[in-house]
Amino acid sequence: MSRHKHSRHDEPAGPHPNPEADEGALWGQAAEATPEPAAPSAGAAGEAPAADEAAPAEPTEAATEIERLQGQAAEYLDGWQRARADFANYKKRIEREQEESRARVVADVMQDFVAILDDLERALQDRPAEGEAASWASGIDMIYRKLMSVLDAEGVRPIIPAEAEAFDPNVHEAVSHEASPDHTAGQIIGVIHQGYRIGERVIRPALVRVAK
């Protein structure tokens, strides 16, 4: 019994195991074994905008769309301007046709008044200056002026050639050709009846005597 005990005490003395130290060593080894995350390489950093390389395509498409819309707007503007010009021409044509139609109506009505105007003019040529007949002549003159005022408001203008004026077959009608020492051939010697016109339309040409 004593011999067995002696053998236990005779075991060589050695370092006693330290669990805490062993654990720290193990953690240190693990830390050394764990690789640190690699820093992004220059190549990787350069490749990052790769997603943006397609970005320039978007402005190109936008510019194309803007150009298309501008062309479409210009086309619409041109069409609108053409339509506006066509409408303006149509409006002018309608106004011109209405004016011509009104002129024809007035001219037709004036055909019935021409003879009356001629009679009034003849009555006033030798109007008396005194007496009761003078007051009658003043009344006839007033009627004549009122009638001419109404016709003037409708656009009717008299054609009254001046003496020695050149004969114009467009607005004059010769009732005679006479020799005259005071006029050259083709000049108007005198007016029988004045003419009438509305615009460019002659209702009745002036009746004149012409030198030959």
- CB contact set of 121 (below 8 Å; sequence gap of 6+): 144, 193, 194
- pLDDT score recorded for residue 166: 93
Q: Using CA atoms, how far apart are residues 31 and 24, in angstroms rounded to an integer?
A: 11
Q: Using CA atoms, how far apart are residues 44 and 56, in angstroms rounded to an integer?
A: 21
Look up the CATH number of domain 75-211: 2.30.22.10
Buried b (16+ CB within 10 A) or exposed e, 163-177: eeeebeeeebbbeee
For the chain of 212 residues, list the mean pLDDT of each consecutive stretch of 10: 45 49 48 51 48 56 87 89 91 89 82 84 82 84 89 88 91 92 91 88 91 92
Phi and psi (nearest 5°) for 194?
-70, 155
- pLDDT score recorded for residue 177: 92
Considering the entire predicted model, what is its pTM?
0.54
DSSP 8-state class, residue 166: B
Determine contact, residues 188/172, Cβ cutoff 8 Å.
Answer: yes
Phi and psi (nearest 5°) for 177?
-120, 120
Which two three-digit tokens encode residue 204?
């009745």
- pLDDT score recorded for residue 44: 46
Buried b (16+ CB within 10 A) or exposed e, 129-152: eeeeeeeebeeeeeebeeeeeebe
Three-state DSSP at 197 gives strand
Question: How do the residues of the chain divide into helix, strand and coil, expressed in percent and rounded to 5?
Answer: 60, 15, 25
Question: Domain coordinates of the chain in residue numbers?
Answer: 75-211
